[in-house]
Amino acid sequence: MQLERSKSMQKIAMGLIAANRGFFSDELAAKMRAATIAAMEKAGIEAVAPDETMTNAGTVGTYAEAKACAKLFRDRGVQGIIVAAVNFGDEQSVAVAVKETGLNVPVLIFACQEEEALTMSTPRRDSFCGLLSIGEALRQIDAKYTVARVPVCFPGDASFAEELQRFSAVCRVVNGVRGARYGQIGARPNDFWTCRFDEKSLQAKLGVTTVTLDLSEAIGAVERMDPNAPEVQETVKAISSYTDVASAPGEAVNKQARLEVFLRGFVRDFDLDALAIQCWTSIQANLGICSCTVMGRLGDEGIPCACESDILGALSMHSLRLASQDSTGLADWNNVHNDDPDLVNIWHCGVFPASFAKTAPRMAVQEIIANDTGRDNAWGVTEFVAKEGPITIARVTQDTRGAFKAVVVPARFEDNEAKTFGAYGWARIPNLTDLYRDVLCRHFPHHTAFAAGDVADAVWEAFGNYLDFEVFTSGQSVPGMWTPVAPFSR
């Protein structure tokens, strides 16, 4: 039975403010309004905009129209706002509309290009100039906004289609992280100070609620569960299809199935967005399995699962999940390649979702823990080598004063003959040595989240602009002042 995790996959609703100004052409303004709505709908966005019965040509150019627009956005609960300067635009109306929504959602601003080269008789927009006034008005009301990569364009341009995809990801991250609910099962392992976090400041900053559960309750529930219950047997079959269990003891697979049934119920009962689980070594000593395969399976269904009760790791994974709408993993920055200073081993015991796999996933023993608990109690990791392709790496942490910061890095998994156990990929990061020094100097821990694809820009914008994090990346000179362009996606 799969979890119904649809929050990050739902069609996103965005409000459109077609910023108009008297003595410019209503006809040209209406044309660009319609073109912007068409572009939004083509991008899979639900466009929410005043129609011609509410405002002049469905645009916003007066105080009354701004109030009506704000009410519409508020009533529909839009998750982002797009401001299109369809001509010079009335900057006060834009500011009033944004402020009066009271929604505190991301705002994208762009200007519509002139129809043709200017002549003395050309109907003109002057939106290049007007967008500057709109940006200044938004600044004066302390509204944060995103500027399109190509700020002056036609809504039908390819650059604007890319912008809409990027901005949708920003909106998903900002709205999804604010008020998220993360389940913490078990205390962090005592040896891992890197997994410490301040629960109160996390809630004060982002509205995140941490739902805690003692690991003993999970272990007890698994031990009490009927091994032959239909839901357990169905899960055993699902696990056996997910990874090769031929070498694993049947009892270990059945215990993992029971743990998965329990975790699914915990997620449903508390409406959780991600989990952080004390995955060693108590669960091996007291239940006799590793939880890795189960955690990877939930990750492939949209519930990121962080190791070692790492709540900020779960937040990092959840952010990438929201941006990419795909599975995410948590890894160690494990090893730099001996012969290539820009190649790093992104590794963990065997908890990566199998959707990342290039080689056939197989259930195995956690070789490190087996030295302490015995091999019979350490079954449950899923081992494979990750497939080649672009990835985004991200990690959120707090400093000793509780302030939040993030490192966001575009990278690429590539094939390499170097081998190890567990689940891993060799990730190429230009200027890795400089980044590694920054990770140390800026005080980031050894865990990092990763997702397939290029979503670095969206995560950067969400953290750095809207969530007020300090953000760092490779090759950066001034923190928070540059949006990185991922070099691997083309």
pLDDT tens digits along 207-252: 999 999 999 999 999 999 999 999 999 999 999 999 999 999 999 9
Q: Are 452 and 326 in contact (CB under 8 A)?
A: yes
> What's the pLDDT at 477?
56
> What's the pLDDT at 476?
62
Among 100-109, 269-278, 408-417, 434-443, the least confident range: 434-443
> What's the pLDDT at 485?
53
Over pLDDT 90: what percentage of the chain? 86
> What's the pLDDT at 488?
47
Mean pLDDT of 429-455: 92
Using CA atoms, how far apart are residues 272 and 185, in angstroms rounded to an integer? 12
> What's the pLDDT at 304?
98
Q: Who contacts 479 (Cβ-Cβ below 8 Å, separation ≥6)?
A: 470, 471, 472
pLDDT band at 475 (very low <50, low <70, confident <90, very high): low
Q: Are 208 and 180 in contact (CB under 8 A)?
A: yes
> What's the pLDDT at 9?
61
Q: How far is CA 2 from the centre of its chain?
A: 21
Cα–Cα distance list, 96 to 30, 87, 100 (Å): 21, 18, 6
Using CA atoms, how far apart are residues 437 and 439, in angstroms rounded to an integer? 5
H/E element holding 300? Answer: helix 292-300
pLDDT band at 123 (very low <50, low <70, confident <90, very high): confident
> What's the pLDDT at 330?
98
Tokens representing 209 are 């609620």
H/E element holding 383? Answer: strand 379-385
Amino acid letter, residue 261: V
**Is residue 59 scored above 80 in pLDDT?**
yes
> What's the pLDDT at 484?
55
Over pLDDT 70: what percentage of the chain? 94
Cα–Cα distance list, 164 to 80, 357, 375, 464 (Å): 11, 30, 50, 19
Using CA atoms, how far apart are residues 421 and 203, in angstroms rounded to an integer? 37
Mean pLDDT of 348-354: 97
Per residue in 22-34, pLDDT (tens digit) is 889 999 999 999 9
**Is residue 490 scored above 50 in pLDDT?**
no
Q: Are 413 and 286 in contact (CB under 8 A)?
A: no
Mean pLDDT of 148-177: 97
How high does pLDDT run on average in the chain? 93
> What's the pLDDT at 341?
96
H/E element holding 447? Answer: strand 447-452
Residue with tokens 């705002």: 107
Number of H helices, E strands in the chain: 15, 18
Check whether the bond before 373 is cis (ω within 30° of 0): no
> What's the pLDDT at 121?
67
- DSSP-derived 3-state class of residue 436: helix
Q: Are 52 and 89 in contact (CB under 8 A)?
A: no
> What's the pLDDT at 296?
98
pTM over 0.75: yes
Using CA atoms, how far apart are residues 42 and 52, in angstroms rounded to an integer? 22
Cα–Cα distance list, 417 to 7, 358, 450 (Å): 40, 14, 22
